[in-house]
Amino acid sequence: MGSRLLHCKNVITLGVRTNLSDYEDWQMELIRESEVILFPTTFFADIFDTMGKRTFPNYHTYKFTQDKIKQTVLFNLLQIPHPRTRVSYGNTQKSKILEHFQFPFVAKVPRGSALGRGIYLICDETDLAEYLQLRGPAYIQEYLKIDRDLRVIVIRGRPIHAYWRVARPGEFRTNVSQGATISFDNIPEEGIALAVNTARLCQFDDVGLDICFHNGQYWVLEANMKYGKEGFRQAGIDFYELMDKMIEDGEI
**Domains, the chain:** 84-142 (3.30.1490.20), 148-248 (3.30.470.20)
pLDDT of residue 110: 93
Q: What percent of the chain has pLDDT over 90?
A: 91
Q: How far is CA 76 from CA 4, 65, 192, 201, in A?
A: 30, 17, 19, 12
Which regions of the chain does DSSP assign to beta strands (E)?
Answer: 36-38, 54-56, 85-88, 105-108, 119-122, 138-142, 148-155, 158-166, 181-183, 206-214, 217-224
Radius of gyration of the chain (CA): 20
Note the pLDDT tens digit of each residue in 70-105: 999 999 999 999 999 999 999 999 999 999 999 999
Q: What is the pTM of this model?
A: 0.93
Q: What percent of the chain has pLDDT over 70?
A: 98
Least Cα distance to 195 among 158, 165, 235 occurs for: 158
pLDDT of residue 179: 85
pLDDT of residue 115: 62
pLDDT of residue 117: 75
pLDDT reading at 250 higher than 80: yes
Q: Cα separation of 37 and 54, whole Å? A: 7
pLDDT reading at 247 higher than 90: yes
Note the pLDDT tens digit of each residue in 122-155: 999 999 999 999 999 999 999 999 999 999 999 9
8 A C-beta contact, residue 231 and residue 183: no
